[in-house]
């Protein structure tokens, strides 16, 4: 059975826009185009989309997924077995976090007493340390100083502080997407005005220079950080990074 892009989007939960992007990026081509120009997807493409979604769920970047799926020796069944193994490991971690949540609720409601050490069961300082080490390895001592600075600046933040900062970030992303969809280029006055807001938003955590802000643009493109931007639009990391480099060159010293 063949599905139009609209039907596949409804079935898979992947937006039509993202499916178009996957096609243009060479990640997921339709089985064929109809006489009406519509894209049509068959079982082979559905299975490939499933693989893409599994790899995305496991934290892989799109460029790595494309490389993996494009290998001549790629084995779908072997990949599924690997996904299953990874997800079982993640499931165990998730279950531990749920137990910690339940214990904390009971503690706060006064139905049980929780030990202080139990508050942090299931969390992974290793993952945070891994991300920090990635930045240090790539950008050196400046990254180490920036991480320390960010931790110091947010150590007393309240839930309201984090919510306010998060809302500001979402607004920046949405405004950039709106301008991109209007066809404005990265160096346009309106796009650069939003990038200035992004730069000022980052100053809550650390103070970027020309070099570090340009370096941060690369991190948005090729590290786990891209997910925060990609969640708003699959092309946002690339567009945002290019605009940031222009801003750094023009405005920063």
Q: CA nearest 224: which of 24, 23, 62?
A: 62
What does each C-alpha distance from 94 to 12, 27, 88, 99 come to in angstroms? 23, 30, 10, 9
Ramachandran angles phi, psi of 3, nearest 5°: -120, 140
Other C-beta atoms closer than 10 Å to the C-beta of 226 total: 21
Alpha-carbon span 178 to 188, nearest angstrom: 13
pTM above 0.75, yes or no: no
Q: Return residue ranges of the chain for CATH 1.10.1660.10.
A: 3-69
Match 């531990």 to its residue by tokens: 96
pLDDT tens readout for residues 51-96: 999 888 777 778 888 989 988 888 988 888 888 887 777 677 667 7
Q: How many C-beta atoms lie closer than 10 Å to residue 102's C-beta?
A: 11
In this structure, which topology does domain 3-69 adopt according to CATH? Multidrug-efflux Transporter Regulator; Chain: A; Domain 2 (1.10.1660)
Mean pLDDT for all residues in the chain: 84
In what helix (H) or strand (E) does residue 106 lie, and over which residues does it extend? helix 76-109
Taking a C-beta distance cutoff of 8 angstroms, is the pair 30, 23 a contact? yes
Sorting pLDDT into bands at 50, 70 and 90, what band is 245? very high
- Do residues 81 and 66 touch, judged by C-beta distance below 8 A? no
């Amino acid at each position: 059975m063949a599905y139009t892009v609209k039907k596949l989007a409804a079935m898979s939960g992947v937006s039509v826009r993202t499916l178009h992007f996957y096609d243009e990026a060479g990640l997921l081509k339709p089985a064929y185009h109809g006489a009406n120009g519509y894209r049509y997807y068959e079982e082979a493409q559905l299975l490939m989309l499933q693989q893409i979604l599994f790899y995305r769920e496991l934290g892989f970047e799109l460029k790595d997924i494309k490389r993996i799926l494009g290998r001549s020796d790629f084995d779908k069944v072997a990949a599924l077995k690997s996904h299953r193994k990874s997800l079982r490991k993640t499931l165990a971690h998730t279950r531990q976090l749920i137990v910690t949540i339940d214990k904390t609720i009971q503690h706060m409601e006064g139905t049980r007493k929780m030990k202080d050490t139990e508050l942090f069961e299931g969390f992974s300082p290793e993952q945070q340390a891994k991300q920090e080490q990635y930045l240090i390895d790539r950008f050196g001592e400046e990254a180490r100083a920036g991480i320390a600075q960010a931790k110091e600046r947010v150590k007393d933040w309240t839930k309201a502080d984090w919510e306010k900062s998060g809302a500001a970030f979402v607004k920046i992303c949405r405004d950039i997407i709106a301008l991109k969809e209007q066809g404005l280029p990265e160096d346009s006055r309106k796009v650069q005005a939003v990038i200035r807001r992004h730069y000022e938003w980052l100053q809550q955590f650390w103070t970027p220079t020309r070099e570090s802000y340009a370096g941060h643009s690369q991190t948005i493109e090729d590290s786990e950080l891209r997910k925060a931007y990609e969640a708003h639009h699959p092309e946002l990391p690339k567009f945002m990074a290019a605009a940031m480099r222009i801003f750094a060159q023009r405005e920063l010293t």
